[in-house]
Copies of this chain bind each other. A is one copy, B any other.
Amino acid sequence: MAEHLADLSVRGLDLVDPSALSQDAKALMTEECEKIAPFDEKKLEEILDLYIRTGIPVHSPGYMGRQFSGVVPLGGVVEFVSSVLNQPSSFYEAGQLPNVAERLMADELNRFIGWEPGRFAMVTTSGGSLANLTAMLAARNQKFPRFWPDGAAGLEGGARPAIAVSDDVHYSVSRAAGVMGIGEAQIVRLPLNGRRQISIEGARAALAAAERANLRVFCLVASAGTTSVGAFDPIGALADLARERDIWLHVDGAHGASLLVSDRFRHKLRGIEKADSLTWDAHKMTFVPAPCTLLFYRDREASGGAFRQRASYVFDEKPDIYTELDSGDRNFECTKRPMIMSLWVLWAMYGRALFAEKVEYLCALTQQAYHLLHAEPDFETVHRPEANILCFRYRPHGVAEEDVHALQVAIRNRVKLRGRFFISKVNVDGVAALRVVMMNHEITVDHFRMLLEEIRGVGRTLHGTHWNPRRNGGCS
């Protein structure tokens, strides 16, 4: 592992044919026998080596493709301890320190959110998708108290429950609408402005139209860092709009809430103190092993509404000083990994500065990359980056409008297969763009320059005589 972490070579993905990998993995498995096989250190080494070699290299400067973090290694040590101790954290008595650490960490981070200290609440949960669903359930159950017992079928007559989301919202939010019985057709899409944020005027009009269509929008989901381009919706103005209409404002800050710890970037979430709830993935820009998601509520009372039931084998008859810290009735999981521990230990050991410095470095690096791109005539930027996500296109002279999409897809795939850099792609206004996400402080602007050269090289080949997007669909 030490060797792996010390290897700072520029590597992308070494994509192996699954059936070949499957053969290799199978060869490492003990033949079934009636007895427990003796411990074979060499086999373990081979397994771990295969594991390290075949994954995305999140610690290499060649990895710029996803929001998976290059974690602080000490976090891994804490996870080792957590895994062996195996103290679940939904109940104080099972994991005392994790429950206390959740409270301490909540207080630390709430200093940057700004909610009333005795009144706000935080629970940890297994990933941003689950946090978004949980918050949306709390909203649904608050605005429609009969939804939990009766189901949506109990709401006969009256307006249909609906959810308003940004056109660029993460798929987990529309998925949640399908899961929780709202229905995907009851999603009101709010238009974006030129910076790919929710447009306030557009939102106002869309909400009015929804009302005329007999929809009762009870929850509005804003993004603090959209997944596609990292845009920050105008939280303060949306909160005002939501309050006017008795709408719960949930902020999906899975990616971008971590900017709150930085004095320089906190302003991106201006107005967050007026929101009702906030999802914060510490496994993204707070650099701890995944998943470690924090779900904050402005009002502790409201956090109790997401789930409702009793079970005599876990919930005690009368609350006491111990059970008062239990979160089992407020998070989805029964057995919950004590995910807070790696975050809290890193915070306790190094302080806020560790996270603030890393966030600031990565956002500044992304700005530099943007300016670099701007000076290159054969590249096109599609937005001005607000955090550490940057989307752009390779678009040299002579590429027809209708070929731009397929060219980006082909470049992305070819770059991936070459294995030096790992980048992703995203559709922006229906046309593919190349996407880099800076999640690792070992990346410098020189690495980004190398990436542009790689793209240019690949792009030139593809754009040459050998490539016809309409023949092979751009997936060569």
Contact call A349/B18, Cβ cutoff below 8 A: no
Bound CA span A416–B316, Å: 13
Quick check: is A409 within 8 A (CB to CB) of the other chain?
Answer: yes
Contact call A104/B39, Cβ cutoff below 8 A: no
Contact call A15/B348, Cβ cutoff below 8 A: no
A window 85-118: CB within 8 A of B: 85-88, 92-97, 99-101, 103-104
When the two chains form the complex, which single residue of B51, B99, B310 contacts A171, counting CB atoms closer than 8 Å?
A: B310
Report B-chain residues with C-beta under 8 Å of the C-beta of A84: 1, 4-5, 71, 73, 75-76, 289
Copies held by the complex: 2
Report B-chain residues with C-beta under 8 Å of the C-beta of A314: 171
Quick check: is A253 within 8 A (CB to CB) of the other chain?
Answer: no
Contact call B100/A18, Cβ cutoff below 8 A: yes
Report B-chain residues with C-beta under 8 Å of the C-beta of A347: 29-30
Quick check: is A277 within 8 A (CB to CB) of the other chain?
Answer: no
Q: For residue A31, which residue of chain B has the nearest CB?
A: B351
Contact call B183/A149, Cβ cutoff below 8 A: yes
Per-residue CB contact flags for chain A residues 437-476 toward chain B (1 = under 8 Å, else 0) read 0000000000000000000000000000000000001010
Report B-chain residues with C-beta under 8 Å of the C-beta of A272: none
When the two chains form the complex, which single residue of B161, B177, B283 contacts A335, counting CB atoms closer than 8 Å?
A: B283
Quick check: is A245 within 8 A (CB to CB) of the other chain?
Answer: no
When the two chains form the complex, which single residue of B29, B55, B103 contacts A22, counting CB atoms closer than 8 Å?
A: B103
Quick check: is A43 within 8 A (CB to CB) of the other chain?
Answer: yes
Quick check: is A424 within 8 A (CB to CB) of the other chain?
Answer: yes
A window 325-350: CB within 8 A of B: 325, 332-337, 341-342, 345, 347-350
A window 39-67: CB within 8 A of B: 39-40, 43-44, 47-48, 50-52, 54-56, 58, 66-67
Bound CA span A148–B94, Å: 37
A window 258-281: CB within 8 A of B: 281
Bound CA span A67–B342, Å: 24
Asked if A171 meets B311 with Cβ closer than 8 Å, knowing A50-B97, A96-B16, the reply is: yes
Bound CA span A66–B94, Å: 9
Report B-chain residues with C-beta under 8 Å of the C-beta of A31: 351
Quick check: is A200 within 8 A (CB to CB) of the other chain?
Answer: no
Report B-chain residues with C-beta under 8 Å of the C-beta of A283: 86, 335
